[in-house]
Amino acid sequence: MTIHHDKLAYGRLAKTSEEMTDSQIQDMLKNLSAGDEKYILAIDQGTTSTRAIIFDKRGNIVSRAQQEFRQIYPEPGWVEHSPQDIMGSTVAVTGEALVRAGLSAQDISAIGITNQRETTLVWDRKTGKPVYNAIVWQCRRTAGFCETLKREGFSEKIYNKTGLVPDAYFSATKIKWVLDNVEGARARAERGELVFGTVDTYLLWQLSKGTIFATDYTNASRTMLFNIHTLKWDDELLRLFDIPKSMLPEVHPSSYLYGCTDARLFGSPIPVCGVVGDQQAALFGQLCTNKGEVKNTYGTGCFLLMNTGNKAVKSQHGLITTLGATAEGKPCYVLEGSVFVGGAVVQWLRDEMKIISSSDDSEAQALKVKDSGGVYVVPAFTGLGAPYWNAAARGTITGITRGTSREHIIRASLEGIAYEVCDLVEAMEKDAGIKITRLAVDGGACKNNFLMQFQSDVLNCTAVRPKVAETTALGAAYLAGLNAGCWSGLDEIKENFEVEKTFTPDMSEGGRIKLLSGWREAVKKATV
């Protein structure tokens, strides 16, 4: 252990990523040697930033590094990322996290990768060179084609095979767009020269210098090309989207030895033993490993996921059915509902309305009033997601009186997030036939105690916030560490799991019903 104390001191001297060049990081990495204790490194390649977090065997964070990267908006509604930024930020934060912890690559038992889902890359099989930027999940460029698919009656077939609704969100139409619009791409793809990957696949390929071409079940289930019942790429869908099968990666379990990073990157090879899409990673990181367990992430949007075990539950209420991560070979099934604007309404209060000074300030302001004074804020800035799926809906404030103050608007905005989640929970309860009594919470906005208490009140359900809030990275670390033998099994991990705060419902049934019916009226006004 002594060697680690020395190394940690060295780590504390480390500068931030903005101050360190790649070659400085490489030099520092070379000077570090392996210690006795092993660690797990999670790479969380998200939509706006890339993070690397090193965990010890107790699930504690040893060090972390984060880099934001460019969002590219070539046209209204289009969103792209540079593949170089994705890979460059990944290598930089990984190196920096090692240096900050004073650890070398040999101290790391395993890497777990978690990633923004659906984002699509196409690159050359020989050179690794992308033919186009990464088309981000948020990008709406293929919305017209998805409308055509719906009109032509493909929704049911697609849902029955993939659990998804035809939407520009998922990868399939993005791949088709690249093949149809990038000069020469289709002919090259047909000659077997091009490959497709979501971000996990691209990182695996790049980190292994082209020796790993794979994805996991959770990421595959977001492409709209993967049959979640047979667990195979679907030939009929590949024909529908006109995508050559030779472009597709192998699909493996989320907890699996994918191969090793190239020795030149971090000083020595590190095994990659986990790959998982971000929301499924958070579900696993929250240890929702049993049927009926549910988590909600309060980030920019909100993502509610329920583990439904070995049964794919068909949604009658606008949710999607997808694959979840397990520590075993076979994935589990998950019901998922998402809303587009969650914590983003708080950014709007700060940046556009300028009525709060910081996101954190929203809590103190909301608590200055005893209720929202009859005001409802429906944060439908970009339409409403599940369970309404109304693209034409817009943000709406109702119930304003002469006495309405900025604090009422702030409070009503936070309450709006909680109501959106109530709608998701209600849809999920109906689909799964289960009453949800415990909600595991995470994401940036879950730090807001007012929001969490209000959520617990209007849902009449306990909300549980874990001590390690980085559940996405933690989930990837657990999956990788389990495969690498860092833990004997889930029971050992569960022993280390610590709750930071539990919110229990404290509202009368009558009060709850009244508030929820007011919300329903407000939603109606947002959708006319």
Contact residues for ligand ADP, defined by CB under 6 A? 46, 48, 299-300, 343-344, 346-347, 359-360, 362-363, 443-445, 447-448
Q: Cβ 223 to ligand ADP, closest distance in Å?
A: 21
Residue 113 dihedral angles phi and psi, to the nearest 5°: -105, 130
Give me Rg for the CA atoms of the chain. 23
CB proximity list for 394: less than 8 A, separation 6 or greater? 380, 381, 383, 526
Contact (CB, 8 A) for 356 and 365:
yes
- Select 47 or 308, whichever has its Cβ closest to ligand ADP: 47
- Select 244 or 444, whichever has its Cβ closest to ligand ADP: 444
Question: What 8-state DSSP symbol labels residue 331?
Answer: P
CA angle 175, 180, 184 (to 5 degrees): 105
Q: Cβ 48 to ligand ADP, closest distance in Å?
A: 5
Length of the chain: 528
Question: What 8-state DSSP symbol labels residue 327?
Answer: S
- Select 91 or 441, whichever has its Cβ closest to ligand ADP: 441
Strands 255-260 and 271-277: antiparallel
Q: Cβ 451 to ligand ADP, closest distance in Å?
A: 6
> HEC states along 94-125?
HHHHHHHHCCCHHHEEEEEEEECCCCEEEEEC
Measured from the Cβ of residue 392, the count of other Cβ atoms closer than 10 Å reads 10
Q: Cβ 414 to ligand ADP, closest distance in Å?
A: 7
Bridge partner list, 305? 295, 336
Structure-token match 């899409």, residue found: 277
Q: Cβ 359 to ligand ADP, closest distance in Å?
A: 4
Task: With residue 207 as reference, give the H or E element that holds it.
Answer: helix 199-207
SS3 249: coil
Q: Cβ 467 to ligand ADP, closest distance in Å?
A: 16
Q: Cβ 327 to ligand ADP, closest distance in Å?
A: 25
Angstrom distance (rounded) from CA 88 to CA 72: 16
DSSP string, 147-189: HHHHHTT-HHHHHHHHS--S-TTSSHHHHHHHHHHSTTHHHHH
b/e 279-318 (16+ beta carbons within 10 angstroms → b): bbbbbbbbbbbeebbbbbbbbbbbbbbbbbbeebbebebb
Q: Cβ 299 to ligand ADP, closest distance in Å?
A: 3
Question: What 8-state DSSP symbol labels residue 328?
Answer: S
Q: Cβ 351 to ligand ADP, closest distance in Å?
A: 9
Q: Cβ 528 to ligand ADP, closest distance in Å?
A: 27
The single-letter code of the amino acid at 465 is: R
Angstrom distance (rounded) from CA 104 to CA 321: 40
The single-letter code of the amino acid at 362 is: S
Query: Among positive and negative, which fits the CA dihedral 451, 372, 385, 509?
Result: positive
DSSP string, 430-447: HHHT----EEEEESGGGG
Angstrom distance (rounded) from CA 401 to CA 341: 25
- Select 227 or 472, whichever has its Cβ closest to ligand ADP: 472
- Select 83 or 416, whichever has its Cβ closest to ligand ADP: 416
